[in-house]
Amino acid sequence: MKKTIQKVKVCRICGSSKLYPFLSLGKMPIPNGFIQKEELNMAERYYPLAVCVCENCWLVQLTHIVSPEIMFRNYVYIPSTSVTMVDHFRSMANAIVDKYKLNGSDLVVDVGSNDGTLLSFFKGKEIKVLGVDPSENLSAISNLKGIETMNNFFGIEVAEKIRKEKGKAKVVTATNVLAHIHDLDDICKGVNILLENEGLFIVEFPYFLDLIDKNEFDSIYHEHLSYFSLKPLCYLFQKYNLHIIDIKKVPVHGGSLRIFVSNVKSRYKPSLRVKDFLERESLRKLNRRSTYNEFARRVKAIRRDLVSLLKRLKLQGKRIVGYGAAAKGNVLLNYCKLDSHTIEYIVDSIPYKQGKFTPGTHIPIYPETRLENDTPDYVLLLAWNFADEILRKQVKYRERDGEFIITIPYLRIE
Ligand code: JHZ
């Protein structure tokens, strides 16, 4: 049987063994490991959750890797359940089509295509599309929607199969997926096989600078093997004659970067924005242990302050529930050891999650409509990346004097 967890001994980008561990969130179940009622008394697998930084290329990465078969074969993250993400992918597709003048003869391949949401906007413009995703459940949904999807992990083998059957791609996209992949060399080799000479590899990921500046520690979880800044990515791409030619800052998932990567021999030359971002990273001293130790100190302070606030509210007889059964929410709950004695229940919009219980903390999950007939004193916003959308949705709850507790970027009650 394949090992379910392995310790990281060398940096996945540069191979250095100089890995400096700076924060441990303890042992906890995988963050999307929601459980059924009948499984509540069964043992759950706990895995270490901790991060280190490579002191050679400065890639921040997990200290242990859980098998992707366990995490991604049946996947519950579905971006089309959020207006914010659907709007985001629509504008992303429109921007790419306009910027690179895509037309009906061009092929766009999306790595980690999930339920086909992003590709559906390219397809709507008569552009040829193909998804690649390892999750059986999401590939089936995407194919049913008419977005042709290969149910597999992307890499050299899949790239060669696509090139043989469909030809080369003008654009390969990868949104919120590169951070989930251990073998980044296989991905880059696959991109080089699949991409046209003047093609673009467009990657979007939560930006590590936002993570530490906004204390987004709950974005650290078993699915996210890497926490990217630009310097280590430049190191990775140059190994494969690829380079970042442009960058766009986008607000999703607490602050992300959309980077545009091409072959060094293409006509594209790096824009000044690339240099600006790299300079900003060196000013932020991402190549100093002190930067990471300081972040770890802030994380421990947030846990201390949140736990004492909730304890105080419970002692006052207040009722507290959670909003958004997000993977990041499960990290926060397990790290702060918050179970149903503190958080009575969680509401969530995803049908698959409703009726289940959170991993490790066993808090019941209900549809959002529960808040129409119930007015707990406080709602702990676990899906803070959708704060605007959720606060807009819950005007009536707030009119009934309900209040939201929001932890990121700082602890506050709204
Ligand atoms: P969600 C995601 O992780 C996905 P997660 C992924 N792991 C990733 O890389 C990071 O972001 C960057 C609910 N909700 O998926 C739906 C409502 O209930 O954004 C979700 O269960 N009502 C690939 O899982 C959860 O919140 C709403 O109105 O940490 C959000 O989880 C909305 C908008 C969402 O984060």
DSSP output for 115-184: TSHHHHHHHTTT-EEEEEES-HHHHHHHHHTT--EEES--SHHHHHHHHHHH--EEEEEEES-GGG-S-H
Final residue of a structural domain among 240, 262, 287: 287
pLDDT value, residue 76: 78
pLDDT value, residue 2: 61
User: Does ligand 1 come within 6 angstroms of the Cβ of 299?
Assistant: no
* 129/140 Cα distance (integer angstroms): 16
Dump pLDDT digits (tens) for 250-304.
Answer: 999 999 999 999 999 999 999 999 999 999 999 999 999 999 999 999 999 999 9
Residue 300 sits in a domain whose CATH number is 3.40.50.720
Ligand 1, from 178, 219, 253, 382: best to mutate by most atoms within 8 Å of Cβ?
253
Confidence of residue 1 (pLDDT cuts 50, 70, 90): very low
Domain that holds residue 181: 79-287
For 259, counting Cβ atoms within 10 Å of its Cβ (0-12 exposed, 13-18 middle, 19+ buried), the class is: buried
How many structural domains comprise the chain?
A: 2
- Over residues 157-171, mean pLDDT: 98
Tell me: do 197 and 310 sit in the same domain: no
Tell me: do 225 and 266 sit in the same domain: yes
Dump pLDDT digits (tens) for 92-146.
Answer: 999 999 999 999 999 999 999 999 999 999 999 999 999 999 999 999 999 999 9
Tell me: do 163 and 251 sit in the same domain: yes
Evaluate whether 107 touches 123 at the Cβ level (below 8 Å).
no
pLDDT value, residue 79: 82
Tell me: do 250 and 120 sit in the same domain: yes
* 62/24 Cα distance (integer angstroms): 10
What token pair was written down for 42?
């069964």
User: Does ligand 1 come within 6 angstroms of the Cβ of 88?
Assistant: no
Dump pLDDT digits (tens) for 331-346.
Answer: 999 999 999 999 999 9
The residue whose CA has the least distance to atom 4 of ligand 1 is 77
Residue 267 sits in a domain whose CATH number is 3.40.50.150
Dump pLDDT digits (tens) for 180-216.
Answer: 999 999 999 999 999 999 999 999 999 999 999 999 9
pTM here is 0.95
18 in a structural domain: no
